[in-house]
Amino acid sequence: MATTRLDAEFYRNMSIIAEDEALTKKLMKYLRKLVASKQEDATLMTREDFLAKLERAEQQVARGEGMKMLPNEDLTSFLKRNGYDI
């Protein structure tokens, strides 16, 4: 389909949906899912990257550069002590 035909069909359908609140809510729910599927997750990494990161962490611990939790310290206190704003 030509872009102009797609645009015309899109706007014609949107005008129909815009008149119905229930349909608008369904469309917004679907659009959120569609946009989320399009955006890449910055936290995703390959298996190789993950294993390399673990290897670097193990080397840091072996050199004594790691951070340790104090006895009876909870995770929130540990993170705050190490400069993370929670």
The model's pLDDT over 40-69, given as tens digits with 9 standing for 90+, comes to 777 888 899 999 999 999 999 899 888 889
| 60/65 Cα distance (integer angstroms) | 5
Model confidence at 15, in pLDDT bands (50, 70, 90)? very high
Looking at residues 62-83, what average pLDDT do you find?
91
CA–CA distance from 55 to each of 60, 61, 68 (Å)? 9, 10, 18
pLDDT at 16: 93
Total-model pTM:
0.41
Residue 8 has φ and ψ, to the nearest 5°, of -60, -45
